[in-house]
Amino acid sequence: MYDVLTDDRDLARADIGDRTHFFAEYVDGRSQALLEGAINSVACWGDTATVRDEPDRAAVDDDGTRATPDAEGHHWGTVCPTDPDYRAGVLERIDRAGAVGDVRLTTLGFPGGSFCRCDRCERRFDASEFEGRDAWRTDVITGFVAEAATRVEDDLIATLYPDPYPGNLRERAGIDPRAIAARVDGFLVPLCGPGYETTYWVESLARGFAGELEDLEASLAIQLSAAEIDADRLAGVTRRIEPHADSIVYGTYPDDAETVRETIRTLREDEPAVAAD
């Protein structure tokens, strides 16, 4: 299955792929109207605008560094996942998106292994039954996903940070795919690199996730970038990872639309030959 991801409403309706993922929300805090018939993407804790305007809401590490775009290793602001009012607002947005169809969750976990150490998180961890902070953080995110799942009638897709090494997602973000697999219908892993001058890392990561998730019922989608690449090369990259994924999602802007269209056309021409083997 070949899908597209876009924030352009006209492109979303262009029937380029099998399904359309639509950016209804961005990690910078912007949003646009939901698109019926698409998989609407909801940013959970990534919200640069809120962190800028209300810095006390940002996740904090053990050194007191807030998760802002200015902090090393961060490209957007991240709200603390235990902020009760913000959490309620995220669930309301998921509820609205779920009312029109499938939903994809992005920025789902904590923004790094040392987050969050705000006073609220310290109190909640100390009062919890968990001895280890990783276990407590995982419980926070797992509980959030469980509640989000009740707001979505159709498919719920969780975006995973591209690190398939066993235990790393749990330690890095508080996300345990096995713990949330019963609550989601699919996982999506972005492996984006303009041009893909080298491809070994894409295949390696896709293979790693396929191995880690192979006994789970949730599907696995791999997201690729269609920027700065021609259709033949993008088709070649796709062929390398297709054996490890249930679907491919092409990040597509209007300037890339014809590249993606031609890529999908080329790949579908391959299908009879593969079947004949």
Neighbours of 158 (CB within 10 A): 27
Answer whether residue 274 shows pLDDT above 50.
no
Instruction: Give the pLDDT confidence score for residue 272 in this predicted structure.
Output: 61
Answer whether residue 276 shows pLDDT above 70.
no
User: What confidence tens digit (pLDDT) does each residue in 37-53 have?
Assistant: 999 999 999 999 999 99
User: What confidence tens digit (pLDDT) does each residue in 166-208 have?
Assistant: 999 999 999 999 999 999 999 999 999 989 999 999 999 999 9
Residue ranges of alpha helices (H) inside the chain are 9-12, 48-53, 84-98, 119-127, 133-149, 168-173, 177-180, 200-213, 231-241, 257-276
> Can you give the CATH number for the domain in which 189 is found?
3.20.20.80
Averaged pLDDT for residues 257-271: 94
Averaged pLDDT for residues 130-151: 98
Neighbours of 225 (CB within 10 A): 21
**Residue range of the domain that includes 193:** 2-276
User: What confidence tens digit (pLDDT) does each residue in 13-36 have?
Assistant: 999 999 999 999 999 999 999 999
Instruction: Give the pLDDT confidence score for residue 157 in this predicted structure.
Output: 98
Counted residue by residue, the chain has a size of 277
Neighbours of 259 (CB within 10 A): 22
What percent of the chain lies above the pLDDT cut of 90? Answer: 96
The count of structural domains within the chain is 1
> Which residues make beta-bridge pairs with 186?
157, 219
Q: pTM for the full model?
A: 0.94
DSSP single-letter state for residue 18: S
Answer whether residue 158 shows pLDDT above 50.
yes
pLDDT band at residue 90 using 50, 70 and 90 as cut-offs:
very high
CB 45 within 8 A of CB 81: yes
Summary mean pLDDT of the chain: 95
Answer whether residue 277 shows pLDDT above 80.
no
